[in-house]
Amino acid sequence: MNVTYVIVSEKINDSFELKTLAIWGKGKIRDNIKYNFLNLPCGTVINEEKLCCYPQKIQEIFPDKTILQNMKAESYLGMPLLDEHHQVIGVLCVVNNKILANPENTIAMMKVFATRATSELLRQRAEIARRHTYDELESRVKEATEELRLRTAELVKANTVLEREIQEKIVA
């Protein structure tokens, strides 16, 4: 894929923000960013829940967007990343500073990469959920262990008192 930028972004809960997970731009990995997707091509991908292709004049279609101007964007192709419930969890997009001459080839490659990106994003989310569950269970075990320690101490104390009383009655 001979494009200026390739960006994988994750939708932040129910907000209008995306955070990038990876940006390949102008031949190198770029710093990740967080941005509002309203009135951007990514917003169209998210709202329509389908691939959006703007093979040229993207800045004319979205004229007020500094991010597109800074990227010197001419064309855009974006694909939603969908979870198992067909909800958009992210966007995979390419931004080019030239006209997208053959979008069909780019779309075919994007479908492969989108599948992989979705799988990885879902795996990361599952790992976060697993860690959260593990931490919660570990906390519960610690609480139960402490409660058991306290109850055991109470039983030992009660047993000691009862043992003395029995010894006193035997001696008497």
Q: Please report, for the chain, the start and end positions of each structural domain, with discontinuous segments joined by +.
A: 5-128
Cβ–Cβ < 8 Å for 12, 89: no
Proportion of the chain above pLDDT 90, given as a percent: 82
Cβ–Cβ < 8 Å for 55, 75: yes
Q: How far is CA 171 from CA 42, 120, 159, 165, in A?
A: 88, 75, 18, 10
Separation of alpha carbons 55 and 76, rounded Å: 6
Residue 26: pLDDT band by 50, 70, 90 thresholds?
confident
Three-state SS string across 69-109, please?
Answer: HHCCCCEEEEEEEECCCCCEEEEEEEEECCCCCCHHHHHHH
pTM over 0.85: no
- pLDDT tens-place string over residues 89-134: 999 999 999 999 888 889 999 999 999 999 999 999 999 999 999 9
Checking if the pLDDT of 13 tops 90, the result is no
List the one residue out of 33, 100, 107, 93 whose CA is nearest residue 66: 33
Beta-bridge partner residues of 24: 6, 29
Q: Which two tokens stand for residue 140?
A: 């519960």
5-128: CATH topology: Beta-Lactamase (3.30.450)
